[in-house]
Structure 1
Amino acid sequence: MTLDHTDRTELLREGGIDHREAMERFCGNEALYERLALKFLDDPHFAELEQALSDKDAQTAYRAAHSLKGVAGNLSLRRLYDQTCRLCDALRASDLDAAERILPDARAAYDAVIRTLDQLRG
Structure 2
Amino acid sequence: MLSVEQCYAQLQGDYADIIRRMRTDERVEKFLAMLVRDNSFDQLKTALQQEDYETAFRAAHTLKGVLLNLSLTAQAEVISELTEVLRKQQADEKIGPLFEQASAAYAELMAGIRELLEKNE
Classify the TM-score, shorter chain: 0.7 to 0.9
Which among 14, 17, 38 is matched to residue 21 of structure 1?
Answer: 17
Displaced runs of 4+ in structure 1, greater than 3 A?
none
Cross-structure match for 2:61: 66
What CA distance in whole angstroms lies between the structure 1 residues aligned with 2:12 and 2:40?
A: 18
Work out whether residues 51 and 91 of structure 2, in 8 Å CA contact, stay in contact via their aligned partners in 1: no
Would the aligned equivalents of 2:64 and 2:76 in 1 still touch at CA under 8 Å?
yes
Matching residue of 2:37: 42
Corresponding letter in the other structure for 1:105: Q
- Give the aligned CA root-mean-square deviation in angstroms: 1.5
Give the TM-score normalised by structure 2.
0.87
The residue aligned with 1:53 is 48
Amino acid at match of 2:53: A
Contact 1:23-1:29 at 8 Å conserved across structures: yes
Residue 64 of structure 1 and its aligned partner are, at CA, apart by 0.4
> What secondary structure sits across from 1:97 in the alignment?
coil
Aligned-partner residue type, residue 77 of structure 1? L
Aligned-pair identity in percent equals 27
- Per the alignment, residue 79 of structure 2 pairs with 84
Q: Does 2:114 match 1:102?
A: no
Q: Which segments of 5 or more consecutive residues in structure 1 lack a partner in the other structure?
A: none
